Amino acid sequence: MNEAEWLGGSALKILSFSDLHVDYNSTELNRELTQEIADCIKEHAPDRVIVAGDMAGGAERCIRYIEEIQEKSGVPLSYVPGNHSIWATRDNGDSWKQYNLLRDHESSLIDKPLLLNEEWVLVGDMGWYDYTHGLEHKTRAEIVKDKNMMWKDSVMARWGMEDEELTELILEKLRGQFEQFQDRKVMFVNHFIPYASYVPLSKRPEHPMGKVWNLIRPFMGSTKLGELLDQYAHVEYVIFGHKHWRHGMEVHNGKKIICNPLGYVKEWVTDDFATEIRSAATVIEL
């Protein structure tokens, strides 16, 4: 019996990831990466793995990788979809079909908060974006035009509703879950960015990278999610990805914020998968 068990609680170790993009990165590196991801998980020996979206493109591929990683690591995995996860093609239905496939999988947190121990509950959903990271800079009409011109969700994410409506719908579900678990500490996970400080305007707007970043900021998340989270002090951890930039774990508005995505091979500092997956793994000890 360890000290935490002796004191009446049980220590819990969580390993969090996001944006593994296993399909894309396996193609780029010309090998199947799930065993190497499982090896990294086994080194840490966590009680649970969390992946904050963008496991791969489309729900079926996500589910295949989730199951492979669980099987090879022997550790249960909790997943929320990212925007790539709900991409719909002509043959596989709309984005709701993709979302529902992932929601119905045993790994999903959607509509099923997970009690981690006596103290903690894990709450999660996909999240979405509503242009609030950008409306201070551009009109809605300009943002929609940019989206149609260069953001792949404009073709692949088919919801049959506006982005703002989808965001609101998910925020309302989350509000209900935060209310329901007032007596517990909440670890929250979604794919999208809640806080404006993580989506700053580029200081080099004329540089090609700065130009692209300023164009895609409105599709990064929602400040309304941040406002919702800040209403609930019992939400102590906030995990997200989407933006392929590793911040690690930081404290923001009294909460521990984890944004530490793996991202694409071409975005990495090294070309060594073993190094990058370990740098993208975040250990949370409860």
Which residue lies nearer to Fe ion by CB, 226 or 241?
241
Is 282 a binder of Fe ion (CB under 5 A)?
no
Residue closer to Fe ion by CB (options 89, 245) is 245
- Of 12-20, 69-77, 94-102, 164-172, which segment contacts Fe ion by CB under 5 A? 12-20
Whole-angstrom distance, CA of residue 174 vs CA of residue 116: 18
Q: Which of 34, 52, 54, 134 binds Fe ion (CB under 5 A)?
A: 54
Q: Could you give the CA distance from residue 60 to residue 84 in angstroms, rounded to a whole number?
A: 12
* Tally of residues, the chain: 286
Among 158, 242, 246, 255, binds Fe ion (CB under 5 A): 242
Using CB under 5 A as the binding rule, whether residue 82 contacts Fe ion is answered as: yes
Work out whether 217 is an interface residue with Fe ion (CB under 5 A). no
Cβ distance to Fe ion smaller for residue 51 or 75: 51
Q: Would you say 57 or 82 has its CB closer to Fe ion?
A: 82
Among 19, 23, 146, 153, binds Fe ion (CB under 5 A): 19
In the complex with Fe ion, the residue whose CB is nearer, 158 or 242, is: 242
The answer to whether residue 218 forms part of the interface with Fe ion (CB under 5 A) is no
What is the SS3 assignment for the chain?
Answer: CCHHHHCCCCCCEEEEECCCCHHHHHHHHCCCCHHHHHHHHHHHCCCEEEECCCCCCCHHHHHHHHHHHHHHHCCCEEECCCCHHHCCCCCCCCHHHHHHHHHCCCCECCCCCEECCCCEEEEECCCCCCCCCCCCCCCHHHHHHHHHHHCCHHHHCCCCCCHHHHHHHHHHHHHHHHHHCCCCEEEEECCCECCHHHCCCCCCCCCHHHHHHHHHHHHCECHHHHHHHHCCCCEEEEEECCCCCCCEEEEECCEEEEECCCCCHHHCCCCCHHHHHHHCCEEEEC
Nearer to Fe ion, 83 or 181 (CB): 83
Which region, judged by CB under 5 A, interacts with Fe ion, from 61-69, 76-84, 111-119, 249-257? 76-84
Minimum distance, C-beta of residue 224 to Fe ion, in the bound complex (Å): 18
Residue 234: count other Cβ atoms within 10 Å of its Cβ: 12
Cα four-point dihedral sign 239, 243, 249, 252? negative
The nearer residue to Fe ion, 84 or 255, going by C-beta atoms, is 84
- Contact segment (CB under 5 A) with Fe ion among 81-89, 118-126, 127-135, 212-220 equals 81-89
Distance CA 137, CA 42 (A): 45
Question: How many residues belong to the site for Fe ion (CB under 5 A)?
Answer: 5
Q: Measured from the CB of residue 17, what is the shortest distance to Fe ion in angstroms?
A: 11
153 binds Fe ion (CB under 5 A): no
Segment interacting with Fe ion, rule: CB under 5 A, options 11-19, 43-51, 97-105, 265-273? 11-19
Among 25, 83, 108, 260, binds Fe ion (CB under 5 A): 83
The nearest distance, CB 262 to Fe ion, in angstroms, is 9
Q: How far is the CB of 245 from Fe ion (least distance, A)?
A: 11
Locus of tokens 């550790």:
75
Residues that bind Fe ion (CB under 5 A): 19, 54, 82-83, 242
